[in-house]
Structure 1
């Protein structure tokens, strides 16, 4: 005893079809779909849309950050390359300046050495002239002294040699 149902039976019994139940169930299903659409589907789709937009904005932000990081990395590489070039130029300039200063110092030292050598030569020459002048004076005074002694007494050759040697020794002791 089935009522209001769809029954399949044998050929003798026949097929019963209950259209009222089907229409009722179809109406309940449509109402349920409308309620789901209004209360569940739209909010769910709104949340999904927000999530999609959030993910898209995060992907865009990540791509922008990646591009910016790439640009910054390239700038840093260029700055590092420039810094290396500048450092190398500074080192080369310092070497060149050091070479120039070294050459200047050597030239100054050579000039000073030449000046000192010339001054020493002049001083030696002056001292030589003083020594020659002093010797001349001593020779002159010795000559006068010898002449005065010779005049005082007559000498033979041996006495004369002896007298000259004595005077030379006296002159040597006076110095």
Structure 2
């Protein structure tokens, strides 16, 4: 039981620190970059992984058939090999030493060209476009996120506290609602004016 608690604690600590991004979003210095990370993760990277998983499952099944890997264990081993191939960690001798070396090498080359070269560069290009779009409208997006966070904090407040804070700035005059503004008065200025009037 303790080992499960340790693993859960490891994930929750990561999520907790990731929640700090919410608190640095309202600042103009870091807000646009946080928005950029969110857009890249949930738009570009998500689309990349959806397409990549399709190719990963297909190539893994092909290699599983070529290397006579039966059952779930053999299929998971093929998925592991394909994923390591994405990172550039593949053993060419393993593919050559199989029962169908030529077909295995051709599929491996096709996989490397399609995934490592084409899809990864496509992901980098999409991230570059996202960076350009966010940078172009960084100030507007920052103001939007700042207003959204303020609204979220306001909605999380109790109704009584929210109304009490609301009445500090608004006052009803007749049937109209007006905003009241406090203006600081310099007493010394009035005192100087009165002294000048008395001297005259």
Question: TM-score of the superposition, structure 1-length normalised?
Answer: 0.29
Bigger radius of gyration, 1 or 2?
Answer: 1
**TM-score, length of structure 2 as denominator length:** 0.26
Higher helix share: 1
